[in-house]
């Protein structure tokens, strides 16, 4: 049924009145005059029909416009929202390439976003103030959920795993974060020739997490389902910042090529992205319209970064977030962790098991056991020397100890040994955006490795038992390094006792100090702790 507007009704009504008056007038023309007047009446009819079509077309274009479609989607987004109805002016979803982002608006000092709480109330951050948004895949969920189980605390933590479709729940899944189904993304454009539209779905996790309206949230942390988190250190790191401000925290990739392609100022979601609540709220308001401006981007991280950049928020880098765009043997990175709290690690399936003789999952279980034993000092470096035997000890707490058969200065040891390749298969030094060094070519200069076997706590201190690794180069050492036998060739185990770090170590971190001592012919003990004012490796 066609709905006529008032102007159309007026035109048709006037035409009918004119026709009626013409017939009733005493001065009606004769039959011959009627023939002359007929073309004028037909012309008026044509004008009326054209006006009718014009207004009908305008009405239909209004009903089915992109703005109306946008408002329809806004109504869908609002469904299930509990506390607010942020109805903004709709912009067309299908924007052209010429569309520009909205202009940033100024605010006064009185318009300070404290979320209804003072700075004093922002203190005392705990894990319950954090909501996790975990990007998952229904096809990989059966395997990947075992990684989340290693670090998730079901009674203390809040968050969801966002999947593209429902999965069958199994026994024990109640100890995992609940699963949620992501919203429809079919109305968004995606034109990247090598990517996958799932990047659209994952980029909207921050919007969908915020829309849940959970109470007392200060931070939203985004990650992947193959990411391991050190939750204690995450809380310590986030507590350095004022969560009432717009803050975007994370770390770029280890791969120079990846950073060059995407951005050197972009946080990678696999390693984890922390977004303060005010920034999450701002993204909630603009995200869908912003995403539509970037149909050619590859994935979720670059879309999120593009929208945060439109808001004028730079990346705050924290060295403990690890994207880990590497493959192969991760020893070089694990044994040279930066002097910063270890927060996260990604791509745990793409590298060899961390500890020799264990499967990938069992290796990660030992890894997270050591992480829980002493979260603050986990993976922290310590370098000390035995000058009488001309030995260097490089300790990576919770992972491994390396004993080098000569004196090696800390400046060299803090550079990561390239035992791995980048995600693209390249292993040259200039492929990595951190200090890297070539592996030792001489078998006589290679370190002897002791890997963690077990760990625990005793009083305030943590302990770790490290066992000598059977290396394929042991025979070559005995053959070619004579008369200099491998260092500590009788020692089969090293016991490490680590003293707890101070509560504010993460604010001004410093490399730990260590002291070796021989306890028996087959065992060595190393004490590790914070350095004194004038204490160092030597």
Whether residues 404 and 313 share a domain: the answer is no
Q: Is residue 73 assigned to a domain?
A: no
Expressed as residue numbers, the domain containing 414 is 375-530
In this predicted structure, which of 23-27, 138-142, 457-461, 505-509 has the lowest mean pLDDT?
Answer: 23-27
Query: Nearest 10 degrees: CA dihedral of 292, 294, 295, 301?
Result: -110
CA distance 283 to 86: 12
pLDDT score at 50: 67
CA distance 428 to 425: 10
Q: Assign residue 216 a region: left if phi > 0, alpha if psi is -120 to 50, beta otherwise?
A: left
Q: What mean pLDDT do residues 485-507 have?
A: 90
How many domains does the structure of the chain reveal? 2
Cβ atoms 267, 279 nearer than 8 A: no
Whether residues 149 and 285 share a domain: the answer is yes
pLDDT: is 522 or 347 the higher one? 347
pLDDT score at 534: 57
pLDDT tens column, 466-485:
999 987 777 777 777 766 66
Percent of the chain with pLDDT over 70: 75
Instruction: Specify the pairing of strand 416-417 against strand 436-437.
Output: parallel
Mean pLDDT (the chain, rounded): 83
Whether residues 407 and 311 share a domain: the answer is no
Cβ density class 131-159: b for 16+ within 10 Å, e for less: bbbbbbbeeebeebbebbebbbeeeebbb
pLDDT tens column, 83-108:
333 434 444 444 444 456 665 555 54
Percent of the chain with pLDDT over 90: 67
Whether residues 251 and 161 share a domain: the answer is yes
CATH number for the domain spanning 520: value is 2.70.130.10
pLDDT score at 489: 82
Structure token pair of residue 248: 């975007």
Q: Is residue 100 assigned to a domain?
A: no
Confidence grade of residue 55 (pLDDT, cut at 50, 70, 90): low
Whether residues 429 and 521 share a domain: the answer is yes
Structure token pair of residue 432: 């990595």
pLDDT tens column, 374-420:
999 999 999 999 998 899 999 999 999 999 999 999 999 999 999 99
Q: What mean pLDDT do residues 143-164 have?
A: 97
Residue 51 has pLDDT above 90, yes or no: no
Q: Which of 301, 322, 343 is the last residue of a domain?
A: 322
Whether residues 385 and 312 share a domain: the answer is no
CA distance 276 to 238: 9
pLDDT score at 479: 74
pLDDT tens column, 213-232:
999 999 999 999 999 999 99
Confidence grade of residue 532 (pLDDT, cut at 50, 70, 90): confident
Query: Closest Cα to residue 451, out of 492, 489, 401, 413?
Result: 401
Helix then strand then coil, % of the chain, to nearest 5: 30, 20, 50
In this predicted structure, which of 51-55, 435-439, 505-509 has the lowest mean pLDDT?
Answer: 51-55
Single pTM value for the model: 0.79
Cβ density class 346-359: b for 16+ within 10 Å, e for less: bbbeebebbbeeee
Report which secondary-structure segment, H or E, holds 33.
helix 31-63
Q: Is residue 338 assigned to a domain?
A: no
Query: Closest Cα to residue 200, out of 68, 326, 292?
Result: 292
pLDDT: is 488 or 230 the higher one? 230
Query: Closest Cα to residue 197, out of 311, 299, 125?
Result: 299
Cβ atoms 304, 298 nearer than 8 A: no
Confidence grade of residue 445 (pLDDT, cut at 50, 70, 90): confident
- How far the first Cα of the chain sits from its last, in Å, is 91
Q: Is residue 14 assigned to a domain?
A: no
Whether residues 191 and 258 share a domain: the answer is yes
Structure token pair of residue 113: 């976003």
CATH number for the domain spanning 279: value is 3.90.550.50
Q: Which of 322, 356, 385 is the last residue of a domain?
A: 322
Whether residues 144 and 262 share a domain: the answer is yes
Q: Is residue 77 assigned to a domain?
A: no
Query: How many CA atoms does the CB half-sphere of 9 hold within 13 Å?
Result: 5
pLDDT score at 104: 56
CA distance 513 to 377: 12
Q: Is residue 95 assigned to a domain?
A: no
Whether residues 390 and 506 share a domain: the answer is yes
Work out whether the CA dihedral 375, 376, 378, 379 comes out positive or negative. Answer: positive
Q: Is residue 105 assigned to a domain?
A: no
Q: Which of 322, 337, 358 is the last residue of a domain?
A: 322
pLDDT score at 85: 37
Whether residues 311 and 383 share a domain: the answer is no
Whether residues 162 and 298 share a domain: the answer is yes
pLDDT score at 513: 95
CA distance 340 to 279: 25
Point out which residues pair with 357 in neighbouring strands.
none
Q: Which burial class, exposed, middle or buried, applies to 394 when counting CB atoms under 10 A from its CB (0-12, 13-18, 19+)?
A: buried
Residue 42 has pLDDT above 90, yes or no: no
Three-class SS state of 278: helix
Q: Is residue 17 assigned to a domain?
A: no
In this predicted structure, which of 69-78, 131-140, 281-290 has the lowest mean pLDDT?
Answer: 69-78
pLDDT tens column, 299-358:
999 999 999 999 999 999 999 999 999 999 999 999 999 999 999 999 999 999 999 999
DSSP 88-157: PPP--SS--TT--PPPP----TT----TT--HHHH-S--GGGEEEEEE--TTTHHHHHHHHHHH--TTT-
Confidence grade of residue 178 (pLDDT, cut at 50, 70, 90): very high
Residue 203 has pLDDT above 80, yes or no: yes
Whether residues 257 and 187 share a domain: the answer is yes
Report which secondary-structure segment, H or E, holds 454.
strand 448-458
């Amino acid at each position: 049924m066609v709905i006529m507007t008032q102007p159309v009704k007026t035109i048709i009504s006037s035409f009918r009145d004119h026709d009626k008056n013409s017939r009733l007038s005493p001065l009606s023309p004769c039959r011959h005059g009627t023939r002359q007047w007929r073309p004028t009446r037909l012309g008026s009819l044509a004008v009326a029909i054209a006006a009718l079509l014009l207004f009908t077309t305008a009405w239909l274009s209004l009903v089915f416009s992109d703005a109306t479609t946008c408002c329809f989607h806004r109504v869908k987004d609002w469904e299930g929202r509990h506390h607010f109805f942020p109805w903004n002016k709709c912009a067309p979803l299908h924007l052209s390439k010429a569309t520009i982002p909205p202009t940033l608006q100024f605010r006064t000092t009185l318009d300070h976003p404290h979320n209804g709480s003072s700075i004093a109330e922002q203190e005392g951050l705990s894990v319950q103030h954090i909501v996790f948004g975990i990007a998952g895949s229904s096809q990989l969920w059966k395997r990947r959920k075992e990684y989340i189980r290693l670090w998730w605390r079901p009674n203390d933590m809040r968050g969801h795993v966002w999947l593209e479709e429902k999965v069958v729940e199994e026994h024990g899944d109640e100890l995992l974060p609940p699963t949620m189904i992501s919203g429809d993304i079919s109305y968004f454009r995606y034109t990247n020739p090598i990517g996958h539209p799932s990047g659209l779905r994952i980029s909207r996790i921050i919007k969908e997490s915020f829309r849940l309206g959970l109470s007392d949230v200060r931070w939203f942390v985004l990650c992947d389902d193959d990411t391991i988190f050190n939750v204690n250190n995450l809380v310590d790191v986030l507590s350095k910042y004022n969560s009432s401000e717009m803050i975007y925290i994370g770390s770029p990739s280890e791969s120079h090529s990846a950073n060059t392609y995407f951005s050197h100022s972009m946080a990678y979601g696999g390693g984890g992205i922390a977004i303060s609540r005010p920034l999450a709220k701002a993204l909630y308001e603009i995200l869908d319209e912003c995403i539509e401006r970037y149909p050619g981007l590859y994935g979720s991280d670059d879309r999120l970064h593009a929208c945060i950049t439109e808001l004028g928020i730079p990346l705050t880098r924290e060295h403990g977030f690890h994207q880990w765009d590497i493959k192969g043997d991760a020893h070089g990175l694990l044994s040279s962790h930066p002097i910063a709290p270890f927060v996260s690690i990604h791509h745990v399936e793409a590298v060899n098991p961390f500890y020799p003789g264990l499967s990938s999952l069992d290796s990660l279980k030992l890894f997270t056991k050591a992480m829980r034993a002493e979260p603050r000092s986990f993976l922290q470096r310590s370098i000390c020397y035995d000058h009488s035997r001309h030995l260097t000890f490089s300790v990576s707490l919770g992972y491994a100890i390396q004993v080098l058969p000569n004196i090696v200065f800390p400046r060299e040891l803090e550079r990561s040994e390239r035992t791995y390749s980048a995600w693209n298969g390249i292993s040259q030094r200039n492929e990595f955006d951190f200090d890297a060094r070539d592996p030792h070519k001489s078998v006589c200069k290679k370190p002897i490795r002791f890997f963690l076997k077990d760990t625990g706590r005793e009083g305030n201190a943590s302990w770790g038992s490290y066992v000598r690794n059977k290396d394929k180069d042991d025979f070559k050492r005995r053959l070619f390094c004579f008369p200099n036998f491998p260092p500590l060739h009788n020692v089969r185990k090293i016991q490490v006792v680590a003293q707890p770090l101070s509560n504010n170590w993460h604010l001004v971190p410093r490399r730990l100090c260590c002291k070796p001592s021989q306890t028996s012919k087959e065992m060595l003990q190393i004490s590790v702790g914070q350095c004194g004012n004038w204490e160092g490796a030597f």
